[in-house]
Amino acid sequence: MTTSTTFLGLGAMGSALAAAALDAGHRAVVWNRTPHRAQALGERGATVADGVEEAVAGDGVIVVCLFDHRSVHDVLDPVAPGLSGRTVVNLTTTTPDEARELADWAARHGITYLDGAIMAVPPMIGRPGSEIFYSGSAAAFETHRDLLDLWGASSFFGPDAGLAALYDVAMLAGMYTVFAGFMHGAALVGAEGVSATRFAERQMPFLTAMVGQLAGLAATVDSTDYTGEGQQSLRFTETALATLVRASAEQGVDAAVLKPVHDIVRRQIAAGFGGHGTARMFEELRSTR
């Protein structure tokens, strides 16, 4: 008898994961707190469970894609005693320490735990560009690799269950600040009647070109040499940011996106590093753990 994969959580992402498995010929049992979300997958051949206990009654891998860390416990805690010997792949977005806590919880119940961070939006699942980071059980990663690779390029970061989530939040920090910066720029030109669409046509190629600077910035940070030739100084950057803040005020746009960056630069200058390269902002942000 072919083993079924259980999918707990059928939001947009959970449904995309289950659909990709079904399309590849996998048997699937699906459950969602709101039952109507399972209907479409049931019509595609999935077995729709009435409850979590029924959903996990088999012996296959359990894929969890829920709202948050708390919801994972809410769903799995009641059935945990019966999951000894099973494998849970958790694709719920969590912090690194929350992922580690779940790994410890799983170990106490005899559950093999693999944590995952999805670097894609639901329509990308199973398509080029989709990537998922994993950490935790290496055995689970290798055993279920065929399933995992259905969803995107799979990368394993090691036995520390928090590493996938760590990379996830680090990469999302860059994404959300880029999005916020775009919205700020769109608000600036929008004050003069320029559409966000028209602005995006200019902003996208510029940002693409600027992303090419990341490798150089990373090399500077890793070397901790912020005095080399060719680096834009913190004083220059402070002047540029001050100009952006003033221009925002002139356009009636809130400078809340810019002010934290401006403050970081000013603190580094106040500490005596004004002549150092702008990459020195990293020293203001780096962990002190």
Name the more confident of 261 and 2.
261
Q: Which residues pair with 135 in a beta bridge?
A: 115
Exposed/middle/buried for 11, CB within 10 Å: 0-12, 13-18, 19+? Answer: middle
Residues 6+ apart with CB under 8 A from 37: 10, 11, 15
Mean pLDDT, the chain, whole residue set: 97
> To the nearest whole percent, how much of the chain has pLDDT over 70?
99
Strand 131-136 to strand 112-119: parallel, antiparallel, or no bridges (unpaired)? antiparallel
- Output the pLDDT for position 128: 96
- Output the pLDDT for position 158: 98
How many Cβ atoms sit within 10 Å of the Cβ of residue 207?
14
Query: Does position 289 have pLDDT exceeding 90, yes or no?
Result: no
What is the rounded distance in angstroms from the CA atom of residue 265 to the CA atom of residue 273?
9
CATH fold for the domain made of 5-161: Rossmann fold (3.40.50)
Give the CATH superfamily of 167-285.
N-(1-d-carboxylethyl)-l-norvaline Dehydrogenase; domain 2 (1.10.1040.10)
Query: Does position 1 have pLDDT exceeding 60, yes or no?
Result: no
Name the more confident of 205 and 3.
205
- Output the pLDDT for position 254: 98
Query: Does position 2 have pLDDT exceeding 70, yes or no?
Result: no
Interaxial angle between packed helices 234-251 and 259-268, expressed in degrees from 0 to 180 and rounded to the nearest 10: 150
CB < 8 Å & 24+ apart, contacts of 170-173 = 171/119
Label residue 169 by pLDDT band (50, 70, 90).
very high
Domain range list for the chain: 5-161, 167-285
- Output the pLDDT for position 3: 85
Helix, strand, coil shares of the chain, percent, nearest 5, are 55, 15, 30
If you average pLDDT over residues 254-273, what whole number do you get? 98
pLDDT tens digits for range 54-108: 999 999 999 999 999 999 999 999 999 999 999 999 999 999 999 999 999 999 9
